Amino acid sequence: MTNLRIFSIAFVPLLNNWIVCYCFPRHPSQKLKTMVYVIRKEHFNAAHRLFNPAWSEEKNQEVFGLCANNNWHGHNFELIVTVKGNPDPDTGFVFDLKTLGDLIKKEIIDKVDHKNLNLDVDFMEGKLASCEILIMEFWKILAPQITAYSKTATLHKLHLIETNKNSVEYYGE
Ligand SMILES: [Zn+2]
């Protein structure tokens, strides 16, 4: 993108003389709307087991190790939701964060908190209970809810933290 400004020239009659007017359009960058990102963090506890039913017990142990434990294991998950949009001229908000928190709680947290992800969660039925699969399912639920609530804001990113060392991000791509 060039920074060159294109201007037009007009000759305007004034008191029997012609004057030259230069009309400068706005710089292209000025036409871009401001994009602001707002972030809400929620928390849940859940149990799961990494296990591929198509594999033998030995193969599952080999690939997933402790995560394939027959009697499950649990995590304290953090779900960080980023919504992007233009601040509303009346409120200054991209998306009311209290509303966003309520939406995440109703649509996600209430369905997974203190649950077994393999057994208790309908949208995980028949799926591998990895963080990658989980975060994609969260996106499918949350993205349309956010656009239904706001004409200008959209879901930008989900960040699911499983442990201090391990987390996944998803941008809906
Ligand atoms: Zn785990």
pLDDT (tens digit, 9 = 90+) per residue, 60-94? 999 999 999 999 999 999 999 999 999 999 999 99
**Annotated domain spans of the chain:** 36-170
Q: Cα(36) to centroid of ligand 1, in Å?
A: 33
Q: Which residue from 41, 39, 40, 44 is spatially nearest to 110, judged by alpha carbons?
A: 44
pLDDT digits (tens, 9 = 90+) for 144-160: 999 999 989 999 999 99
Q: Which residue from 72, 70, 42 is spatially nearest to 142, judged by alpha carbons?
A: 42
Phi/psi for 126 (5° steps) reads 75, 5
Query: Has residue 53 got a pLDDT over 60?
Result: yes
Query: Has residue 26 got a pLDDT over 80?
Result: no
Token pair in block for residue 139: 């996106």
pLDDT band of 34, cuts 50, 70, 90 = confident
Query: Has residue 122 got a pLDDT over 70?
Result: yes
**What is the set of active-site residues?**
67, 114, 162
Helix and strand numbers, DSSP H then E, in the chain: 4, 7
Angle, helices 97-104/131-149, rounded to nearest 10 degrees: 130
Contact 49, 127 (CB under 8 A): no
CA 64 from chain center: how many Å? 28
Query: Has residue 17 got a pLDDT over 80?
Result: no
Q: Cα(53) to centroid of ligand 1, in Å?
A: 17
- Give me the amino acid identity at 14: L
Residue 126 backbone zone (phi > 0: left; psi -120 to 50: alpha; other: beta): left
> 36-170 is classed in which CATH architecture?
2-Layer Sandwich (3.30)
Q: What are the E-state strand segments in 26-136?
A: 36-48, 73-85, 115-116
Q: Cα(82) to centroid of ligand 1, in Å?
A: 24
Query: Has residue 22 got a pLDDT over 90?
Result: no
Within 6-164, residue ranges assigned H as helices are 57-64, 97-104, 110-112, 131-149
Q: Cα(160) to centroid of ligand 1, in Å?
A: 12
